[in-house]
């Protein structure tokens, strides 16, 4: 009996030792990982100090980020070219032809990012911050990571549209009462392509023809369209971005939005040029934008941060919305869809 009791105690002690060992091992792995990440950042900083500069091409205003980035890395000058994605595409292709490389980091829409990636102009970069991003927000091969999300929704002017009148589906917009009251962006090609794909080509194009008969009011640019909605120049607006509506609401504008099914997303990837003149500084910049702090700054501007552990400034912008998955097969038909959009909806 004494022998058996001794063996039992020995087994218990051995079990406790095993648990303790596993805990120490796990703690050690985390410590090693933390130290490894710290060493990695230190190496990037050392390289970036020698470069002294990072060049960014972007379609959006990066001002809120630049101030904080400069506070963290005061030894780096940040040169920014903010322009349309078509101009960024032209500039990067021209640099490639001339073999005179300027840009380090590019912030684009997904369509242009995929095009530049296909031409070999982006390098793979697996930032440690990528683990905090959903699969839809990361290029499977590691060429880009999304920085913020735009969601196409229906906006309406609350002075012109009562709560009971708000359309509950896209088919509701075919009601004759909406004729000459619907606004739309003149370049909502991605929305068009996805809608036709979801509905099926035959039914989708038939729907678009009926929608085109509503004599839509076209203006170029989501910002301008949303401002015109607030001014009462239209009653409802197809393909506004919900963050724009919330931003105007915060200023007292009589606007609201609803997420009609399907909710079509637009991504804004950030990627590093294959021939980046300042690769260390480029990685530091991307890491910062993708970091929790960087994404919290993104949220402060009303945009929807892609990072999973950072909420939007207005939570409903991001929560509880069923988003249509990205269909990469549509990128190859960009020109075709743009042509159909103009012919069917814009009557051009």
Instruction: Give tens-digit pLDDT for 277-327.
Output: 999 999 999 999 999 999 999 999 999 999 999 999 999 999 999 999 999
Interatomic CA distance for residues 208 and 175, integer angstroms = 14
In a domain, 26, yes or no: no
Report the pLDDT averaged over residues 121-137: 95
Assigned domain for 104 exists: yes
Residue 138 lies in a domain: yes
Asked if the model's pLDDT at residue 6 lies above 50, the reply is: no
Please check whether residues 59 and 191 belong to one and the same domain. Answer: no
The answer to the question of residue 19 being in a domain is no
Residue 137 lies in domain? 42-148+267-317
The DSSP output letter for 323 is B
Domain identity same for 141 and 49: yes
Judge if 215 and 334 occupy the same domain: yes
pLDDT in tens, 183-213: 999 999 999 999 999 999 999 999 999 999 9
Phi, psi angle pair for 111, to nearest 5°: -60, -50
- 106 and 58 share a domain? yes
Structural domain contains residue 186? yes
Same domain, 102 and 226: no
Same domain for 226 and 331? yes
User: Is residue 254 a contact partner of residue 230, using CB atoms and an 8 Å limit?
Assistant: yes
For residue 208, is it within any domain?
A: yes
**Surface-to-core class of residue 27, CB atoms within 10 Å of its CB (0-12 exposed, 13-18 middle, 19+ buried):** exposed
Both 178 and 239 in one domain: the answer is: yes
Report yes or no on whether pTM surpasses 0.75: yes
CATH number for the domain harbouring residue 144: 3.40.190.10
Q: Are residues 162 and 254 in the same domain?
A: yes
For the cut 70, the answer to whether the pLDDT of residue 1 exceeds it is no
Residues 182 and 282 in one domain: no
- Same-domain pairing of 61 and 207: no
What is the C-alpha to C-alpha distance for residues 72 and 70, in angstroms, rounded to an integer?
A: 5
pLDDT band at 38 (very low <50, low <70, confident <90, very high): confident
Q: Do residues 253 and 302 both lie within one domain?
A: no
| 213 and 338 inside one domain | yes
Based on the structure, what is the number of domains in the chain?
2
Residue 92 binned pLDDT confidence (cut-offs 50, 70, 90): very high
Q: Could you tell me if residue 311 is inside a domain? A: yes
Tally the C-alpha atoms within 13 A of residue 212's C-alpha that lie toward its C-beta.
17
277-286: per-residue pLDDT in tens?
Answer: 999 999 999 9
Residue with tokens 């912008």: 317
């Amino acid at each position: 009996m004494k022998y058996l009791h001794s063996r039992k105690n020995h087994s218990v002690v051995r079990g406790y030792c095993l648990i303790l060992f596993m805990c120490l091992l796990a703690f050690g792995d985390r410590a090693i990982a933390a130290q490894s990440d710290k060493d990695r950042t230190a190496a990037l900083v050392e390289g970036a100090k020698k470069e002294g500069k990072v060049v960014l091409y972007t379609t959006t205003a990066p001002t809120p980020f630049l101030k904080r980035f400069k506070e963290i890395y005061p030894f780096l000058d940040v040169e920014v070219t903010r322009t349309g994605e078509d101009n960024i595409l032209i500039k990067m292709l021209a640099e490639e032809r001339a073999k005179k490389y300027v840009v380090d980091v590019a912030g684009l829409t997904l369509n242009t990012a995929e095009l530049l990636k296909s031409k070999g102009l982006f390098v793979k970069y697996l930032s440690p911050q990528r683990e905090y991003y959903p699969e839809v927000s990361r290029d499977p091969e590691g060429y880009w990571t999304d920085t913020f999300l735009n969601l196409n929704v229906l906006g309406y002017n609350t002075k012109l549209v009562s709560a009971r009148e708000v359309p509950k589906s896209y088919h509701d917009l075919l009601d004759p009462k909406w004729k000459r009251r619907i606004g739309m962006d003149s370049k909502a090609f991605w929305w068009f392509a996805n809608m036709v794909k979801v509905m099926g080509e035959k039914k989708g194009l038939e729907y678009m023809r009926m929608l085109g008969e509503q004599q839509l009011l076209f203006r170029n640019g989501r910002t301008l369209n949303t401002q015109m909605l607030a001014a009462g120049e239209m009653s409802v607006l197809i393909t506004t971005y919900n963050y724009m509506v919330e931003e105007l609401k915060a200023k007292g504008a009589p606007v609201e939005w609803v997420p009609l099914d399907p909710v079509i997303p637009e991504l804004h990837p950030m990627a590093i040029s294959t021939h980046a003149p300042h690769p260390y500084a480029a990685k530091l910049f991307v890491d910062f934008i993708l970091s929790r702090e960087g994404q919290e700054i993104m949220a402060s501007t009303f945009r929807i941060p892609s990072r999973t552990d950072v909420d939007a400034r207005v939570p409903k912008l991001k929560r509880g919305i069923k988003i249509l998955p990205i269909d990469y097969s549509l990128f190859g038909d960009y020109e075709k869809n743009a042509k159909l959009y103009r012919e069917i909806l814009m009557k051009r």
